Structure 1
């Protein structure tokens, strides 16, 4: 009887050759990528020089906002610090442009991050306060024309409405904060109630490579209960009639725009709608109530236009770190206290991001090595007793399936093999996989970091472009995803010899399912962060090496076989609770099956 012992030495040589070919291909694409990038950089340098020459002749502070409106009435006033460049429009007295100076957005034409990163621009964001007057009609401040007065990085926007004065005072503070102070005088003569509605319409602009991934991470986020509770909504609508929101944010993959009212938003509701193609990802609408005091609105607000950098978010002490979707409970803790600190430590050594991920994989494998060793040792022991399992299956081929399963379990028990011990490593891998699934596409330090042929480790690599669209794959093939799929397939071939084939008719072939799994993994990884694919390529390549080392240099299968034979001569070990429960369940099922057969025979 032939026994499947995984890969033989010829297969080992094949795997080594495959690895050499893959590494050679990686360096080829890396050099090709470098040549292409040098050409793109030269073109960008020339274009930037032309833009700089043109900008030298333009006014620094006040420019036209919209050519379709008279330039004498609609202007925008510029505020700038190291991190932000803002334009405040006299139409609505609202912030019309927000640029994050230290970051760039993805450019499809050049396939790199070289565009200005604009959260607000070209009227994709409009906001204002909506009041109801004594006649029952409503008016909104975003429809008013304000008069600006600028003093350094503070601008006061003032509008008159039937004798009432409305002032919006914006002050660009340090880093990513904009103080937004609202003052009114004489408003009590116009309005009929003690509330106003803050209405914000926002179209989230595409800024990253990988539209589907960025859309998934674009959603409403908000806190309540004095900043202690956090919630998010990535679906079609949000509705919080009973909570007072401490802040409301629209978060994208790596950046967020957040509005914080001094006294909170009440009766908040919001809608969002997916945009299938074009410049924008999603359309948002938010409506939250603010209270008036004596029919006047005198309240301080703050705008935050931030990168989702964990230390920065935590520094505000407003629960902003929840904007970073690192996973719930244990998963999030694993990212916050293990993967992120480990990445930061290793990257401080000056290594390229890809090699940082490589070392992270090695460290995780070392930590899990005791458990992994037990798993692979169990795998070797199961290969040794495979002939006896096959003998039991043949002997009880026509017997009751329950009886046959009991005999198989008896062989395992006599041999001292605990099948459930092999489940522990698989269970450990699930939270690690999910943590890394959250880590790689949300780690801003990886954004724009290239490695070999991947230009951005937070997005997919698409060196292989297809002339057509394949459902669930798209119009490209990711080399990292293909490489990861191949090593998972090799690992599956090496470990599938221990899988017992089902003897009952109609039961699926487990080996076939095991081979299908790596193929389906390709569909998942092809549009995911290339850093995730690279991590799992390294991880599974290490798994293969561990199996080969254990098989050829550590475990002596003859010795294991002798140990098993000795165990069989001893008194069988006392059943564990799980084994006892399984045996009792099978015996009960067997009795029920016999009873059903007897009742069926009586009816005949």
Structure 2
């Protein structure tokens, strides 16, 4: 199964391409509504199937349907405005009352936010009659009645009664009961399939970013397990799904089946342009007893708020893509609590991000100090390394590498120690990459020239579309790229220059690498760019403080000289293994040279 990694196509191509070039050289040379209609208050609800009166007989499975035969009724509370269509007896429109969708002309969230609307979603139960013909409830005309917070939809298929009962519950729930009577006279295979077609319209600024966060989500194994798929097809022939949902960046539509869905499969297609982000189809079998379908379902139309999702106790919180394993835990138990604490003090979102960056830097300060101390030590022994390069200029690369490692060993410099800070910052980098574009509380929060910290800022408009970049330039992305470049220049002084003709200058490649961040961040959440800008700016300040006020290079040089005079330490297992491998490789080179 291919799963969403949170990157859009352009970001993947630009970032991975440049990364492969850089790391390729390093490894080679150095060893991802319908319109609302008024409801007749005089109508009486049909709540008991056995007492409900059948509506007009459907003599054939594809009757001629006129506009006058389609009716719409609605239920509404403080959170949802739900409309139901007599065609198919299905939910035709769902508005989340407290939220707004992005309006491109106004460049802000001003439009009503609909999940279902304008025929973008349809669902129904598909049966096969005794003659082998297939019919679906979404093609039938139902008779609607409203009673309080309940809508009853009823239809007749060749004498069989199909009844849907919808109840608008608390929170963002719509109860959905299915009852049939006489269906056993029509079908005999004991099978019913729930079919759901859902075309997702964009609600956020930035089509590419929203599309990458639009995907299937489903729970199984008695609500204990979760999976998702963001690109291709889903196929679960063995698992019983407790619920199936389609999520967008900040909102989701989920249907739960008390009896579960079996033999589930789905497909998704992503149009290149237009108002539809993705097209989803789902097909899952539901249980029938005695060739009658009597089962309870529940629809959830909800914002992806972590506290809300967890309150259902159905593993819905996994819908929020905070990252796998340790990455997700880092967001759930560190970054989200810190963000919630700081915002509770009334601090603006942009400054909350600023403070989060400082807190993260303080926590990482011990390993960062070791990293910069190692950098200073490498700078001090640069003359000795240059001597080795000159001495072994005409020797093979293996001998030169062995001599270089000997210098490092005598000086007490452990090159591998510099890898630890980088390794520690990788999960933090990815956790925040997941945190900023998916934090509902950040949605619509402005900061300086960024109108929404979960979307890119596009103050600088371009007259044309530049591949991998788009039709704008993000100021935060540009600023972040500049500070990363400055930081790279300040830290690349210890990098060796090519000693052999034809070898690439790694310094040049290191300077090119930061430019990839412009392509990577230009269409990403501006909150993410702002965080990386502050983080790298602080790195520069830390380097300067360490260089001029903390570390004394003369003392470091004296320490290195003293290390040289000491008796060499006993060779460790790792060093011994590395030396033996290098010697073996050197012998193989000699043999090949003789041949």
TM-score between the two structures when normalised by the length of structure 2: 0.89
1:110 match:
106
d(CA) in 2 for partners of 1:571, 1:468: 66
Q: Would you say 1:206 and 2:202 are equivalent positions?
A: yes
d(CA) in 2 for partners of 1:516, 1:193: 64
SS of the equivalent of 2:110 reads strand
1:145 match:
141
Unaligned runs of 5+ in 1: 1-54
CA shift at 1:448, angstroms? 1.0
1:429-471 Cα deviation digits (max 9, x unpaired): 1111111111111111111111111111111111111001111
1:42 match:
none
d(CA) in 2 for partners of 1:552, 1:291: 73
1:324 match:
320
Counterpart mapping for 1:194-593 below 5 A: 194-593=190-589
SS of the equivalent of 2:259 reads coil
SS of the equivalent of 1:87 reads strand
SS of the equivalent of 1:265 reads strand
Q: Would you say 1:131 and 2:115 are equivalent positions?
A: no
Given that 1:62 and 1:78 are in contact with CA atoms closer than 8 Å, whether structure 2 keeps it comes out as no
CA shift at 1:62, angstroms? 6.6
Given that 1:81 and 1:175 are in contact with CA atoms closer than 8 Å, whether structure 2 keeps it comes out as no
CA shift at 1:574, angstroms? 2.8
2:81 match:
85
CA shift at 1:192, angstroms? 2.4
CA shift at 1:69, angstroms? 7.0
1:192 match:
188
RMSD: 1.6
d(CA) in 2 for partners of 1:189, 1:298: 15
d(CA) in 2 for partners of 1:195, 1:579: 66
TM-score between the two structures when normalised by the length of structure 1: 0.87
d(CA) in 2 for partners of 1:309, 1:527: 23
1:34 match:
none
d(CA) in 2 for partners of 1:243, 1:273: 23
SS of the equivalent of 2:260 reads coil
Given that 1:257 and 1:304 are in contact with CA atoms closer than 8 Å, whether structure 2 keeps it comes out as yes
Count of paired positions = 539
Given that 2:102 and 2:205 are in contact with CA atoms closer than 8 Å, whether structure 1 keeps it comes out as yes
Given that 1:332 and 1:435 are in contact with CA atoms closer than 8 Å, whether structure 2 keeps it comes out as yes
d(CA) in 2 for partners of 1:117, 1:571: 73
Q: Relative contact order (C-alpha < 8 Å, sep 6+): which is higher? A: 2
1:142-173 Cα deviation digits (max 9, x unpaired): 11111111011101011111111111000000
